[in-house]
């Protein structure tokens, strides 16, 4: 039995049809000692521009999730990460791609944050203060809420805007 797939903007057609290849993505959930986590905005010119997400990127051919995460975080935000802690995997069916998000917690890194793609960043706690949130980010906020016994706002893809920027 396969895991459930989060469908983002279900009312929109799927580019490439229903038999699209899965795109593997390494995602870094950077957590500071006090529990705040890092969100970055999607850069200008990319799909879902301006939406907030956890940093990361696509695996290149032959790369492991950890290798891709190390490369992507250095390229995108200028940090070198310590230990990578694989956490959860989520399938998200976006109108433009079917992605497998490999979420990894990261508690140690060196270097100062540098937004190499012109994106913004924000250290957040629950409930998050930045909007809009990328649909694939919503499950992580829910997992954090469960881990932290947070009883505030609930997070649901249904609460997201239905328009693409």
Backbone angles phi and psi of 116, in degrees to 5: -70, -15
Mean of per-residue pLDDT scores for the chain? 90
Give mean pLDDT, residues 27-38.
Answer: 97
pTM more than 0.85: yes
User: 83: Cβ–Cβ under 8 A, 6 or more apart, which residues?
Assistant: 106, 107, 108
Give the CA distances from residue 74 to residues 21, 39, 41, 42, 116, in Å, rounded to whole numbers and listed in that order: 27, 15, 16, 16, 9
DSSP string, 76-115: HH--EE---EEEEEEEEE-SS-EEEEEEEEE--EES----
CATH number at residue 109: 3.90.79.10
Residue-wise pLDDT for 85-139, tens only, equals: 999 999 999 999 999 999 999 999 999 999 999 999 999 999 999 999 999 999 9
Enclosing domain of residue 129: 5-152
Q: In which residue are the tokens 């879902």 written?
A: 48
pLDDT for position 139:
95
Residue 48 lies in a domain: yes
Selected residue with higher pLDDT from 10 and 17: 10
- Predicted local confidence at residue 103, as pLDDT: 98
- What is the number of structural domains in the chain? 1
57 located within any domain: yes
The verdict on residue 164 lying in a domain is: no
Q: Please tell me the distance from the alpha carbon of residue 145 to that of residue 153, in angstroms, as a whole number.
A: 9
CA 64, 66, 70, 72 torsion: positive or negative? Answer: positive
Tell me if 63 sits within 8 A of 55, measured CB to CB: no
């Amino acid at each position: 039995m396969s895991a459930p797939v989060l469908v983002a903007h279900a009312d929109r057609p799927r580019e490439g049809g229903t038999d699209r290849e899965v795109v593997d993505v390494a995602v870094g959930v950077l957590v500071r000692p006090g529990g705040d986590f890092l969100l970055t905005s999607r850069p200008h010119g990319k799909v879902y521009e301006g939406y907030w997400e956890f940093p990361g990127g696509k695996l290149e051919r032959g790369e492991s999730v950890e290798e891709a995460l190390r490369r992507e975080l250095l390229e995108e935000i200028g940090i070198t990460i310590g230990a990578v802690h694989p956490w959860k995997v989520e399938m998200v069916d976006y109108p433009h791609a079917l992605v497998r998000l490999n979420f990894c917690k990261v508690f140690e890194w060196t270097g100062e944050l540098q937004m190499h793609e012109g994106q913004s960043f924000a250290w957040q706690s629950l409930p998050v203060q930045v909007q809009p949130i990328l649909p694939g980010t919503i499950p992580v906020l829910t997992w954090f809420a469960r881990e932290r016994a947070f009883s505030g706002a609930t997070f649901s893809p249904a609460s997201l805007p239905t328009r693409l920027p």
